Amino acid sequence: MEYRDTVALFASCPVDLFRPDVGFATARLLEQAGYRVEVPPQSCCGQVNYNNGDARHARELAWQIVEQFERYSYTVIPSGSCTGMITCHYPELFANDPRQARVSAFCERVYELTTFLVEVADFQPPAALPATRHGVVTYHDSCAGLRELGVKAQPRELLRRCAGIEVTEMADTEVCCGFGGTFCVKFGNVSARMADDKLDNALAAGADTLAGGDVSCLLHLAGRARRRGLDLAVRHVAELLADAGGAGIGEASAPEGDA
Amino acid sequence: MPDNLSSTRDRIMARIRAATAEAPNREFAAVLASRPPAENLLAPVDDPVNEFLKRARSNGCELIDLPDLPELPVSVASRLPGIETLAADERLGYLDWSAFRLTDNTSEAATGLVLADAGIAETGTLVFTNRTVASSLLFLVDHLAVLLLLSRLQRRQEDTCRAIDRDASAVHLVSGPSRTADVEQTIQIGAHGPRRLLVFVLDDRASPVSFVQ
Amino acid sequence: MSGPQTFIARAGAALDDPQLQSALARARSGFVDKRASAIAAEPDFDLMRDQAREVRQRSLSNLAACLEEFEQQVTAAGGQVHWAESTEDLRRIVIDICLRAGAQTVTKGKSMVGEEAALNQALEQAGLTPWETDLGEYIIQLAHEPPSHIVAPALHKTRSQIADLFRNAHALGERDLGEVSALVDEARAVIRERFLSADVGITGANLLIAETGTAALVTNEGNGDLTARLPRTHIVTTSFDRVVPGWEDASKILRVLSRSATGQPITAYTSFFSGPRAQGEQDGPENFHVVLLDNHRTDLLASEFREMLHCIRCGACMNHCPVYQNVGGHAYDSVYPGPMGAVLSPLLRGYSQDDELPNASSFCGRCEEVCPVRIPLPGLMRKLRERETLEKKSSWLSRRLLAAFAVVARKPVLYRHLTSAGTRLLGAVGRRRGVLRTVPLASGWTRYRDLPAPQGASFQQRWAREEGTKAGDKHNA
């Protein structure tokens, strides 16, 4: 098979640690779109340090990412938050630093997954997926993807194209779910209320599945949904697009032996 | 002024100068002149009369088309039945107000009648200065009736700044009846000022009306 | 206000207060929907924002020239400009003017600088009687509470709470205050008498215009005008950063202010006051004073936080903030709540407990998205967090944890081994339920939500394994 190009996959910590399925789904989608996928050694993009007032360490981690990934034509990330950290904040982080030009040149080739699939790859699925599997799907617009990157139409377009899913919009879909990195542990009471608003809106829209583009937000929402005993599946959009089976986030996996 | 106050001023100004090293000693005239190119980049107000009417109506004004100036007393009477006492702008005093009792005491009068110095199409706004109209007349009456001459209608706020006597100690832009939303976000008309704002619109563009000041 | 000492405790109390929650729910849809429809009706809104931002930048860059002109023009018109370095200066100057005017009663329009300086208490201590005239300010004056919003000070009060306050303060007899209109009429009647009898009127200013020495005031109720024009003395309490060069510049700000604040293209009243009543004028005060407060704003001007002085006090950031929407303004324990307050309060006050405020944000970015002058509020909050770290004011543990995390994350191979061991362990424990109810050292997470169990080995570990298998297959073939 002739590849169009090679793409570096940056999984993001939440995917790497909690939801490898999303990484594999991403790789599958990129392959289907005609790209060879490589996964260079990686850790955190630096956002945790950056947002908690530790720019020095954030810069060190950022530079490591640049060095590991800059040789690829594209870096693709199944997360609006980490992509926004790189494309919007790395240049700020290296302001007044001789490395800034190199950093900026790298940042221009970093894409959030659904944006890459729609705008660069013009992804056409190999075969339509069964739309019924996930019931009524609503999509939560995670903040960084929405506001820093303009991710809004792309996941909806892909869901329509790949699985014939018309997203059922909930109220306040653009309002934060309350994750916010360390915010969710430092201000747990406020964060939980924000999650409840989001989950209640999803249920009020009649959703069976709450989809999103950031596993971090989805871990928080799924964790809160489980704590409240709500009947709502939570999944990353890449899982829906790649028809990954398995349990939703925070749901019991299939019986023993599936390891 | 006592010394300690003037030195407070000097200390604050010195800090400001130090903080704004980009323009520490610029002349004010140069600052005014450094405004970006004068042409207004906003979409032009193509039809100022209709724009004014549309905006004023949505601001809660009652609009009355006045065919002719001498008709004003009759028109006011028909729109405000039962009103007897009128605090009228002296420039309009020469009209036939025999059906009303005129008063100078704005605080007890039920209805004020004033001539607008200008109108602003962009926002459906009426403009007054206290060179011609007492501020208290605009705010203490229960109902405010305004005569707007279309020859005085400006397209935008910027045009209005140039057209009015802005050296007056008070310039009032009035865009609707007094209102508040301080109780449960519910809009309630008639907070402290007029409960009704009636605008009598006279098209004098072909034959301008003049008033003896 | 005495109460819980931390944001999180105040927020907790707010989340559990059903009256407050019902007031906040109402405000949420009110402000957000009204602004959205005002902006939908204005295709040029983004251009308007750019113009307003340009005015704010140019005004601050040329602040010295603007203020000198402003002062000269006020003086030429027969008014007086006073400079207050601190809120204490401001209180003293205002009381001095009142006492020299022989005043006993003072009507007040809404002034955030007046709130910042806690002016009412000082006036009372000086033997004066301050009467708030803005309905929202009047309500919180009766309740002896600080404002919870910079545009709608009594946003946290429900109709029945307001009725109770009026019942306690006014001689109502059997009058029914069930309807909003009855409450507004009641306040109108009581406050009308005060407008007519007050000796001094104190208002704030939304803008100062240098070229004519003018204070501009934006209201819907008309209380500001009655406060400014009826008493013999008008005092404007504001801060020097409100100044813009000319009237055309003021137009640019006004165009975005009320659209962002209340969703109106313009408020019912926008008034421009320049000096005392001049000869030949119909009415107006005999004395006109403008008190300009610094209170650390010159420090902001010189710092990386200068953009915070661009703020035009519309309140859109708090109206759209999901944290503010859920906890209300009092949780911030400052007259400036919400995102703008989370930046401004620590910079103006320097209280150590304010360090919490810039952290109480999920960085969702909605505040920056709606700010009419495009202040990068999350960016400024992040800078405050950085300052907290640099000054070593954040907790030792949190700084050590961040540093330790960075050390591990800088070694991807170590990171992969350590994390994968952790995820496999957690995954094994949580597999049956899919979630973990409690996790040692992660109570911050698990107090409010379950932790979804990791799927087993980390993505990198599994990927390397599968690639290895593939490579092996190729080799064998």
Do C326 and A193 count as a contact with CB atoms less than 8 A apart?
A: yes
Which chain C residue has the Cα nearest residue A149? Answer: C365
B29 with B61, same domain: the answer is no
Do A143 and C363 count as a contact with CB atoms less than 8 A apart?
A: yes
A84 touches chain C (CB under 8 A): no
CATH class of the structural domain A131-241: alpha beta
Which chain A residue has the Cα nearest residue C444? Answer: A185
**Best CA proximity match to A50, nearest among C378, C306, C449, C172:** C378
In a domain, B209, yes or no: no
The residues facing C208 across adjacent strands are C215, C243
**pLDDT on residue A256:** 44
Q: Who contacts B81 (Cβ-Cβ below 8 Å, separation ≥6)?
A: none
Decide the pairing of beta strands C287-293 and A74-77. unpaired
Do C23 and B158 count as a contact with CB atoms less than 8 A apart?
A: no
What does the alpha-carbon distance between residue A50 and residue C383 come to, in Å, rounded to a whole number?
A: 10
CA distance B92 to chain C (A): 16
Q: Which of C229, C244, C301, C309 to mutate to test the interface with B (most CBs of B within 10 A)?
A: C229
Per CB-CB distance under 8 Å, the chain C contacts of A55 are 386
CB C135 within 8 A of CB C187: yes
Per CB-CB distance under 8 Å, the chain B contacts of C210 are 28
Q: What angle do CA A79, A216, C434 make, to 5 degrees?
A: 125
B116 with B21, same domain: the answer is no
Number of Cβ atoms within 10 Å of the Cβ of C314: 26
In a domain, C372, yes or no: no
Do C15 and A17 count as a contact with CB atoms less than 8 A apart?
A: no
CATH number for the domain harbouring residue C207: 3.40.50.10420
**pLDDT on residue C364:** 97
**pLDDT on residue C5:** 87
**pLDDT on residue C474:** 60
Select from C363, C389, C453 the Cβ nearest to the Cβ of A53.
C389
In a domain, B135, yes or no: yes
Amino acid (1-letter code) at residue A192: A
Select from C361, C382, C449 the Cβ nearest to the Cβ of A192.
C449
C40 touches chain B (CB under 8 A): no
Find residues 72-101 of chain C whose CB sits inside 8 Å of chain B. 77, 82-85, 89, 93
B31 with B51, same domain: the answer is no
C79: DSSP letter: -
Both structure tokens of C474: 């190729």
**Best CA proximity match to A172, nearest among C320, C156, C40, C263:** C320
The residues facing C290 across adjacent strands are C81, C236
C56 with C195, same domain: the answer is yes
Q: What is the pLDDT of residues A26-67, one digit of tens each?
A: 999 999 999 999 999 999 999 999 999 999 999 999 999 999
Both structure tokens of C462: 């599994």
Which chain B residue has the Cα nearest residue C153? Answer: B182
How many CB pairs lie under 8 A apart between chains A and C?
Answer: 217
Per CB-CB distance under 8 Å, the chain C contacts of B181 are 30, 152, 220, 262
CATH number for the domain harbouring residue B88: 3.40.50.10420
Please identify which residue in the block is written with the tokens 């906890």.
Answer: C327
Q: Which of C248, C255, C287, C304 to mutate to test the interface with B (most CBs of B within 10 A)?
A: C248
| SS3 state of residue C131 | strand
Per CB-CB distance under 8 Å, the chain C contacts of A230 are none
Select from B19, B32, B156 the Cβ nearest to the Cβ of C211.
B32
Do C448 and A49 count as a contact with CB atoms less than 8 A apart?
A: no
Last residue of a domain, one of C295, C320, C338: C295
**pLDDT on residue C178:** 87
Per CB-CB distance under 8 Å, the chain B contacts of C83 are 5, 8-9, 12
**Best CA proximity match to A64, nearest among C372, C409, C443:** C409
Find residues 152-211 of chain A whose CB sits inside 8 Å of chain C. 174-176, 178-181, 183-195, 197
Do C183 and B139 count as a contact with CB atoms less than 8 A apart?
A: no
Do B175 and C267 count as a contact with CB atoms less than 8 A apart?
A: yes
Do A19 and C431 count as a contact with CB atoms less than 8 A apart?
A: no
Do C251 and B28 count as a contact with CB atoms less than 8 A apart?
A: no
Per CB-CB distance under 8 Å, the chain C contacts of A48 are 402, 405
C142 touches chain B (CB under 8 A): no
In a domain, B78, yes or no: yes
> Does A contact B via 3+ CB–CB distances below 8 Å?
no
Select from C192, C245, C283 the Cβ nearest to the Cβ of B134.
C283
Total residue count of chain B as it appears in this document? 213
Per CB-CB distance under 8 Å, the chain C contacts of B36 are 54
Q: What would the DSSP string read from start to end of C425-466?
A: HHHHHHTTTSEES--TT-HHHHTTS-EEPP-SS-HHHHHHHH
Total residue count of chain A as it appears in this document? 259
A19 touches chain C (CB under 8 A): yes
What are φ and ψ of residue B60, in 5° steps? Answer: 100, 15
Which chain A residue has the Cα nearest residue C328? Answer: A190
> Does C contact A via 3+ CB–CB distances below 8 Å?
yes
B56 with B23, same domain: the answer is no
What does the alpha-carbon distance between residue B151 and residue B165 come to, in Å, rounded to a whole number?
A: 16
B124 with B56, same domain: the answer is yes
Do C67 and B55 count as a contact with CB atoms less than 8 A apart?
A: no
**Best CA proximity match to B107, nearest among B146, B71, B138:** B138
Which chain C residue has the Cα nearest residue A248? Answer: C434
What does the alpha-carbon distance between residue B101 and residue B83 come to, in Å, rounded to a whole number?
A: 9
User: Which domain does B118 fall in, by range?
Assistant: 46-202
Domain count, chain C: 2
CA distance B210 to chain C (A): 20
Per CB-CB distance under 8 Å, the chain B contacts of C77 are 169
pLDDT of chain C, 477 residues: tens digit per residue = 457 789 999 999 999 999 999 999 988 888 999 999 999 999 999 999 999 999 999 999 999 999 999 999 999 999 999 999 999 999 999 999 999 999 999 999 999 999 999 999 999 999 999 999 999 999 999 999 999 999 999 999 999 999 999 999 988 777 788 899 999 999 999 999 999 999 999 999 999 999 999 999 999 999 999 999 999 999 999 999 999 999 999 999 999 999 999 999 999 999 999 999 999 998 999 999 999 999 999 999 999 999 999 999 999 999 999 999 999 999 999 999 999 999 999 999 988 888 899 999 999 999 999 999 999 999 999 999 999 888 877 788 888 888 888 888 888 888 888 888 889 999 888 888 999 998 887 889 999 999 999 999 999 999 999 988 877 766 654
| SS3 state of residue A75 | strand
Q: How many helices (H) and strands (E) does chain A have?
A: 15, 7
In a domain, C47, yes or no: yes
A175: DSSP letter: S
**pLDDT on residue B3:** 46
User: Which domain does C411 fall in, by range?
Assistant: 397-476
C184 touches chain B (CB under 8 A): yes
Burial C85-120 (b: 16+ CB within 10 A, else e): bebebbbebbbebbeebebebbbbbbbbbbbbbebb
**Residue A24: is its pLDDT beyond 80?**
yes
Domain limits of chain A? Answer: 5-120, 131-241
Strands, DSSP E only, in chain A?
Answer: 5-9, 35-38, 74-77, 110-112, 137-140, 209-212, 233-236
Which chain C residue has the Cα nearest residue A219? Answer: C452
B101 with B187, same domain: the answer is yes
Please identify which residue in the block is written with the tokens 């400036």.
Answer: C336
Q: What is the pLDDT of residues A171-224, one digit of tens each?
A: 999 999 999 999 999 999 999 999 999 999 999 999 999 999 999 999 999 999
List chain B residues with pLDDT less than 50.
1, 3
Domain count, chain B: 2
Burial degree of C258 (CB within 10 A; 0-12, 13-18, 19+):
buried
Do A252 and C398 count as a contact with CB atoms less than 8 A apart?
A: no
B72 with B144, same domain: the answer is yes
B160 with B117, same domain: the answer is yes
Per CB-CB distance under 8 Å, the chain C contacts of A37 are none
In a domain, C341, yes or no: no
B133 with B182, same domain: the answer is yes
